Structure 1
Amino acid sequence: MISAAWRKRFSILRNRLYLYPAPEPMAHTRSFWLAMGLVSLAVLLFSGFFIFYLLSGHNAYLTNAEDLGIMDQAIWNTAHGHMLHQTICNILHDTNCYSQDGITRFAIHFEPILFPISLLYLIWPDPGTLIVLQTLVVAAGAYPAFWLARLRLRNEWAGVVIALVYLLYPAQQQATVYDFHAVTFTASLLLFALYFMYTRKTVWLFVFAILAMACKEEIPLVVTMFGLWSMVFQRRWRSGLGLVFLGLIWFLIAYFLIPRYFSPTGHPLLVGRYSDVGLGKGPVQMVVNIISHPKAFWDEYVWQPDRQAYLHILFSPGGYIPPLKFLKWWPPIYLVLFAPWILVLALPTLAANMLSSYEQMYSGLFQYNAEIVPVLIFSCIEAIVLILWLVQMLFAWLNSRQAHKIQSEVSHVEEHTLPLIQRNARWVHTFLLAALAILVLFSAVRADYTFHGNMPFSKGFQWPEATPHTALAEHFIAMIPADASVSAQSKLVPHLSHRTSVYLFPYGDGLAKHSGSIKTENFKADYIFLDVTGDVYPFYGSPDYIYEVKSVLLSGNYGIVAAQDGYLLLKQGLNPPSTSQYSTVQPGAGVDTMQVLPNLPENFCSNIYTSPDKVPDPHMQVSFSAPEGKNIDLLGFSVGAPDTFSHSGGYMSVATYWRISAPITSALQVLFIMEGSDGREYFASTDVPSLLWCQTNMWQPDKVIRLESRVFGLQRSHVPNGLAHISVALLPMAQPSSKIMDIHARLPLHVVNVPGTVSPTDGTNALQLKSMTLVP
């Protein structure tokens, strides 16, 4: 039996936890309708901007096989009687490829909301449908953000600010702009659920909870947390228990029963992302691993710098005050951390992201944080409520002390003699609320500006525009029969995904592949469609990609249907290409396949030529002397790197402009070098893909050639911090990698006229292009 004392203590604790009784309604005054009008205007602007921005990106071939291509194919197949069937997968680094026949979407994620979405394809069967729908659903989340903030802060204008913060929140925008994912809907749906939970509208709470759970298999755990929270802080036992049971049953079905039926392995195909913490052996084993090694767990998954940076990316837009330089002991302040009883609602998703070995899940980018945003918005609101309450308590304490002092001195207190603090409390409250709202809004805008922002004011923002090169892709796509199977590059797949069999290159290219421990069947798609100038994902770099493409061309399995401007359309069964007369090596044992040049149509290299007016500095004159005595002129360059460059996270690219006055017989490569503050040279990159397809001995005289490097960093170069210089040199294509930094192999150069910031490096046959300060 529990003693009376313990029952009393439990009753006191329960009363203290009862923080969220039924809210007092607020009248729909003129201010309310004006505020609603402002929120609606913000929703319309957000929707219009992102719909046009994202559709423009899709038309400019900036969307991806993973995941717009996957989702479009699965939904299109559903509308055509093949339930959520997909064949697109990453054969190189993921665990979701098993056969050319593909899998059902439920083998990867449980997203039943895709069924009603597929009905839209009966009206508008296009990837643009998904982009428009996703944007509209996410934008609608501004309304519950406004309603919830208005009730909690008792102020319409503060509610408008919170609605704007939701629309500006980087984690939400990153999910919105990255292709299409059902889970992105939860940024809005869970906010509706939170609002209806707070206002105790049970039917609508369950409606939106079910809609949210239908978006992904981990959302039921979030809904379960909602139910527990409602039981503890609202004393809503029946509805809270209903959410808990509904969430747990849904999760068990989604995680254990559905994969057993649909997955070829009997478990979700992406569970391998958690093999490091033992999830592959079951959730119980994972918990045991964490409990038995708490320090290792903390160091690896919480205190690790990448995870710390991830938490900063999530929390800072909700109100952030950085450390003060003149007060070294002053820590950074995150407003959302003031409401830990709200942040706990996001624990399932935070754990899923931070425990993953898949870096994208804790990068702050992509769709993985959509369901965290509603909790962060609620945390931000409650943090402001807490601060205002604390200040109110402080005023009440000061008022009582001052009133007691006055009453002890006089027998009667007139109204005008009340403490000044009490008479000014309302003004202080209003000022503090406005200051906190401005802080939160400024933090969101600052984060949008600095962290991969997608707003017009964001650093590096560019409106996506279709080019003549991307327009040419439609000409190639028209050559592919609608019922043919195709293996294509990532950016091309979403424009080919309305077919039963479409694959992400190199899957289906006829060469042996492995996916984890599973050896897939060595099969060949009917067509292969590539853009050697485009994104090479899932390859980590262009050398591996070029090796794969040239291996396919030399395998004898495919012939060329068409080739132009960097595009290659191959068909199984046609005569394969021979080796080009310009190739410096012939295919064979011990030969580097990347240096073999297949015989491709002359138009294939049309992408390297540009007009003279595109050269950044038309007055620059620098000549490199080829081995046969002819000159190669460097006409200009542009270095895509900031003046202060980070060793750990910085990346750069360099575009150079060249011209020859007469044909040359040498095949050359471009070498980029970093000269460090210690005066030594360090290798930077030779990754200029065009030179492995359009060699210098193929260049047409008197035309301007533009060569652009792949982006590269200095993470492994060991260049010391301080002032450094990026330089360019030319050397033979056949130079072995072990001697790539050999000064004597470089072509000598002669400088006639260069900008003041450019100079030759004495005795190195290299031209210094840009100076920068290297930092950790």
Structure 2
Amino acid sequence: MVIALVGLYAGGFGLLAARAYDAHETGGAFDLGNYAQALWYAARGEGLRLTTVPEFGSTRFAMHVEPILFLLAPLYAAAGYDPRFLLWFQAGFIGLGGIPLYALARRRLASDWAALGIVFAYLLLPALESVTLFDFHAVGLMPTLVLAGCYFLDRALTTSTDQKGLWWGHALCEQGETRADARTRWSPILLGTLCFGLALATKEDVPLHLFLFGVYLMLMRRRWYAGAVLSATSAVWFYVAVFLIIPAARPDSAHSPYLGFFSRLGNTPVEILTSPLHTPGTWLELLTAPDTLYGIGMLIIPFAITPLLGLPFLIIAAPTFAIALFSSNPLMHRLETYHYAAPAIPFVALAAVDGMARLSSWLERTLPPRLRGNTPLFVTLGVVLIALGYHHYRGYSPLARAFHWPTVTPHHVLGSALAASIPPDAPVVAQAELVPLVANRPYVRVWTGPFDEQAEYYLLDVSHPAFTNRNEAQERLLADIAYEPTVGLVASQDGYLLLKKGAPRTPITPEFFSFILADMPPGASELHATFGTVLQLVGFETARLATDREAEPLLTLYWHVLQPIEQDLFIAIFLLDAHDVPVGVTLVQQPATVWWPTSRWQAGDHIRMTANTFPWWSGDRTRFGYGIGVLPMGADPWDVHARLSVTHTDERFMPIDQGTILPLVRFVRIAGIPYAE
């Protein structure tokens, strides 16, 4: 059963991650792209070089210390330098963590079924699934390595005179086999040492956890030698990684570029680590902040808060809680969206096992005799039911309400083909979402504009949902193409632009605009609403951004042009509150009208326009909606007299604000994720 669960997790999430790559839904340049290029260089014996983040440095060590990548480099080369190998490998390796967790839980809970239940709850953990799906990260391998190390350590510490092993409380039944012969203990000691050593090699902050784990062994288990060796090794490696390796790799010899996220606590690693002593008030404020409590809840609630009963193990997870939740970068607080929870997960799982054992023991002592005997199973059943319920609202598997299956379309196949057509050694600049497709080369940068002097090719997809027009990014791209005489078109099709330095200066082809000039697909919501006398809205679709399901929902509008439009119009998206009152409005053009302005729309045209650029944040609203208004370009969208009137609407869609805004769709956020009503 355990093998089946592990295989199902590895196969299912490996397939999801690989499909996301094919659908261009990965995190992009700064995650999978960085790792792919660093491993490509390492496989050639040139170290973990990078060109994507020159402001940080020319090597991966300027960002993170992950020497385990040197072990992965030959495997990456053997897999043909395919980034999907990293995604499959990570999913399989994370899934394998269920095996040592099962063995540990089986001894602590004295029940095969209870141990199976905790593995099921572990693999349902949304934070673990987000580590698996949000690109590849070396630290994603850490939970399995730590759990395996704990399993071998538990075997090594268990003797005929001390049955506790790893745990600070007795197992519910005696250990079936002992390790009375010291010679038989060398194997688990060596294997445990190997696992912990590899775990230390996954990221520079992992030593903080293993240092505390060593302290736990000394104080809670009185295993002074094992604990001292683990803590001392972790402390030394942390010093080497943070104080020597990272500064040596930085162009300015400075500390980690991420320390700026913790400026309230200090400016150097020493100041930050000792900040509880000299800024206790700030620590207390951060510790009790809502985001901190939410973040801790993301890991303990799916285990029915049993980790609180295994508090010593939960304390070992504290460094990740502090790093992720005390950061001034709000993205790091989102432990169920990105990979930041990874180092805490194995210790939270151990805390859950220990907490379940303690709760079971307490119930054994307090329940009536007729109800005793199967308390571990009853406790596990409660944990599994809560894990399932939590997963339904926050998970990523097909059991979750917000499950997303990446759809690979001819558009994505075209983009992958264009990327493959670029000569393998040519310097490339690509937008962030496409960097993983071209990362296996000596030089690749992320498109931020203007054109890069060192690059020969440029690959962009202006129709990608994540490529917004924020800060007029798409307008600046259009201007750069128009005014840069040294760069010409190689291909322009369905929103893709493949540019080359020195290529002939030719116009963008009509095939480029197929992402705009498109009919409404089956399944879109139909309506009929006329704006002025020129435009008719005939349908719409909503979607969540694949890489951030809590972000503002995407809105795709389908228009029918009734007559030629003499002047450019601005199609404004209004944010509506729960009572359909406008509280926000877009102020910049959406990508479609940047590339195909309304003055080019002809009578009879069918236009598809995806809105992905919004100036608001609706995360604090349980209910909200989108409305549509159309007005002359340059007019004030809040001026009711400037907007075109909306007529001939369905009774389901009634205009507001003197008939000039069409409330189109309403959303409700359930567990933070927006759903169209």
Give the TM-score normalised by the residue count of structure 1: 0.76
Matched, 1:757 2:652: yes
The 5-angstrom pairing of residues 491-640 of structure 1 reads: 491-506=433-448, 509-510=451-452, 523-536=453-466, 542-556=470-484, 557-574=486-503, 600-614=508-522, 616-617=524-525, 620-625=527-532, 631-638=534-541
Name the counterpart of 1:208: 195
Question: For the structure 1 residues 255 and 145, does the alpha-carbon distance in structure 2 shift closer, same or farther, using more than 3 Å as the test?
Answer: same
SS in 1 for 2:267: helix
CA distances 1:470-525 after superposition (whole Å, capped 9, x unpaired): 11113422442221111111221111011010111117734xxxxxxxxxxxx442
- Please give the alpha-carbon distance, in whole angstroms, between the structure 2 residues aligned to 1:353 and 1:724: 29
Any conservation in 1 of the 2:255–2:268 contact (CA below 8 Å)? no
Any conservation in 2 of the 1:650–1:714 contact (CA below 8 Å)? no
1:730 to partner: Cα distance: 1.0
The 5-angstrom pairing of residues 44-83 of structure 1 reads: 44-63=7-26, 64-83=28-47
- Please give the alpha-carbon distance, in whole angstroms, between the structure 2 residues aligned to 1:702 and 1:132: 47
Name the counterpart of 1:684: 585
1:724 to partner: Cα distance: 6.9
1:218 to partner: Cα distance: 1.3
Q: Which structure's CA Rg is the greater one?
A: 1
- Please give the alpha-carbon distance, in whole angstroms, between the structure 1 residues aligned to 2:72 and 2:352: 32
- Please give the alpha-carbon distance, in whole angstroms, between the structure 2 residues aligned to 1:44 and 1:617: 39
Amino acid at match of 1:353: A
- Please give the alpha-carbon distance, in whole angstroms, between the structure 2 residues aligned to 1:769 and 1:97: 44
SS in 2 for 1:658: strand
Any conservation in 1 of the 2:571–2:629 contact (CA below 8 Å)? yes
Amino acid at match of 2:419: I
Any conservation in 2 of the 1:190–1:371 contact (CA below 8 Å)? no
Name the counterpart of 1:660: 561
- Give 5+ residue unaligned stretches, structure 2: 157-187, 545-549, 673-677
From 238, 244, 253, give the equivalent of 1:251. Answer: 238
The 5-angstrom pairing of residues 693-704 of structure 1 reads: 693-704=595-606
Any conservation in 2 of the 1:524–1:572 contact (CA below 8 Å)? no
SS in 2 for 1:180: coil
- Please give the alpha-carbon distance, in whole angstroms, between the structure 2 residues aligned to 1:261 and 1:709: 44
Amino acid at match of 1:230: L
SS in 1 for 2:439: coil
Name the counterpart of 2:645: 748
- Please give the alpha-carbon distance, in whole angstroms, between the structure 2 residues aligned to 1:247 and 1:712: 45
Name the counterpart of 1:123: 78
Percent identity (aligned): 27
Name the counterpart of 1:767: 662
Amino acid at match of 2:372: V
- Please give the alpha-carbon distance, in whole angstroms, between the structure 2 residues aligned to 1:484 and 1:508: 19
- Please give the alpha-carbon distance, in whole angstroms, between the structure 1 residues aligned to 2:564 and 2:583: 32
Any conservation in 1 of the 2:449–2:477 contact (CA below 8 Å)? no
Give the TM-score normalised by the residue count of structure 2: 0.87
Matched, 1:273 2:290: no
From 324, 335, 347, give the equivalent of 2:306. Answer: 335
CA distances 1:101-141 after superposition (whole Å, capped 9, x unpaired): x6111111111111111111332121122112111211111
CA distances 1:80-111 after superposition (whole Å, capped 9, x unpaired): 2221111123xxxxxx625xxx6111111111
- Give 5+ residue unaligned stretches, structure 1: 1-37, 90-95, 320-333, 396-420, 511-522, 578-598, 642-648
- Please give the alpha-carbon distance, in whole angstroms, between the structure 1 residues aligned to 2:196 and 2:5: 25
Any conservation in 1 of the 2:535–2:560 contact (CA below 8 Å)? yes
Amino acid at match of 2:362: L
- Please give the alpha-carbon distance, in whole angstroms, between the structure 1 residues aligned to 2:449 and 2:193: 42
Matched, 1:448 2:419: no
CA distances 1:206-233 after superposition (whole Å, capped 9, x unpaired): 1110010111111122222222211222
Any conservation in 1 of the 2:569–2:632 contact (CA below 8 Å)? yes
CA distances 1:293-327 after superposition (whole Å, capped 9, x unpaired): 3223321x2222222221111221111xxxxxxxx
Name the counterpart of 2:322: 351
CA distances 1:661-720 after superposition (whole Å, capped 9, x unpaired): 4433322121223555778543333552211111122234433212121164754899xx
SS in 2 for 1:457: coil
Matched, 1:133 2:128: no
The 5-angstrom pairing of residues 125-524 of structure 1 reads: 125-200=81-156, 201-283=188-270, 285-287=271-273, 289-299=275-285, 301-319=286-304, 334-364=305-335, 365-394=337-366, 421-422=368-369, 424=370, 427-430=371-374, 432-451=375-394, 453-506=395-448, 509-510=451-452, 523-524=453-454
SS in 1 for 2:65: coil
Amino acid at match of 2:652: T
- Please give the alpha-carbon distance, in whole angstroms, between the structure 1 residues aligned to 2:411 and 2:454: 27
Amino acid at match of 2:513: C
1:262 to partner: Cα distance: 2.0
Any conservation in 2 of the 1:256–1:267 contact (CA below 8 Å)? no
Give the count of matched residue pairs. 630
- Please give the alpha-carbon distance, in whole angstroms, between the structure 1 residues aligned to 2:151 and 2:552: 42
- Please give the alpha-carbon distance, in whole angstroms, between the structure 2 residues aligned to 1:717 and 1:186: 31
Question: For the structure 1 residues 174 and 722, does the alpha-carbon distance in structure 2 shift closer, same or farther, using more than 3 Å as the test?
Answer: closer
Question: For the structure 1 residues 764 and 717, does the alpha-carbon distance in structure 2 shift closer, same or farther, using more than 3 Å as the test?
Answer: farther
- Please give the alpha-carbon distance, in whole angstroms, between the structure 1 residues aligned to 2:603 and 2:47: 56
Question: For the structure 1 residues 607 and 136, does the alpha-carbon distance in structure 2 shift closer, same or farther, using more than 3 Å as the test?
Answer: same
